[in-house]
Chains A and B, each alone.
Chain A
Amino acid sequence: LAKTTQPVSMDSYEGQEVNITCSHNNIATNDYITWYQQFPSQGPRFIIQGYKTKVTNEVASLFIPADRKSSTLSLPRVSLSDTAVYYCLVASRVGTGGFKTIFGAGTRLFVKA
């Protein structure tokens, strides 16, 4: 399973765009890139997933270059409630479906007023 490396922490201000980059040099052909958000005393919550190029949903965008060795989570116009830990992980398919993942230590994002 591919391991990931991401910044330990980041600070931002309300209303700014935040980009968190993750490296996953050993990603395999069939692996997917997934990002989760975790608030204190809660389980992680899925944000977005992608395989290549760009994926966008209602809360974030995910940019993946052609070599797929890194990815960038983009959070537009963050608010104080976006203060959380963000995990980048690589999901490897197991069996006939489902995925096995390795979480890194995550990036602690602190949004200031």
Chain B
Amino acid sequence: DAGITQSPRHKVTETGTPVTLRCHQTENHRYMYWYRQDPGHGLRLIHYSYGVKDTDKGEVSDGYSVSRSKTEDFLLTLESATSSQTSVYFCAISPAPGDTEAFFGQGTRLTVV
């Protein structure tokens, strides 16, 4: 399996609090992605990064921010968590250029109460 680790794996937090999820890779891949998965929606892209300090929005980026200060780490922050952000969050990495194969982490289950 690709060297990709998400932390924490499970988290319960209160509405209105900030939350940061971490994705760490040991593959030195350029591209990193954050997805959320909800029943009936498959996976939806939140943000992605195409290099250190280079990030862009996905299809459901409102309420989320990301940072990538090192190749190996991609952080997803919920600035003020809401119940609608209760979900399973997946990080993915892919080598570049020209490769569509992405490797996914095991996911983080976040519950906002």
> Do A and B interact?
yes
Q: Spell out A's residues near B (CB within 8 Å).
A: 1, 32, 34, 41-46, 49, 87, 91, 94-106
- Chain B, interface size category, equals 20 to 34
- Residue B44, interface by CB 8 Å: yes
B100 touches A49 (CB 8 A): yes
A94 touches B90 (CB 8 A): no
How far, in whole Å, are A41 and B44 apart by their CA atoms in the complex?
16
B41 touches A105 (CB 8 A): yes
- Residue B62, interface by CB 8 Å: no
B50 touches A94 (CB 8 A): yes
A44 touches B94 (CB 8 A): no
Q: Besides A91-B100, A96-B50, A96-B97, 18 other CB < 8 A contacts? A: A1-B59, A34-B100, A34-B101, A43-B104, A43-B105, A44-B43, A46-B103, A95-B54, A97-B50, A97-B96, A97-B98, A99-B94, A100-B45, A100-B58, A101-B102, A102-B44, A102-B59, A105-B42
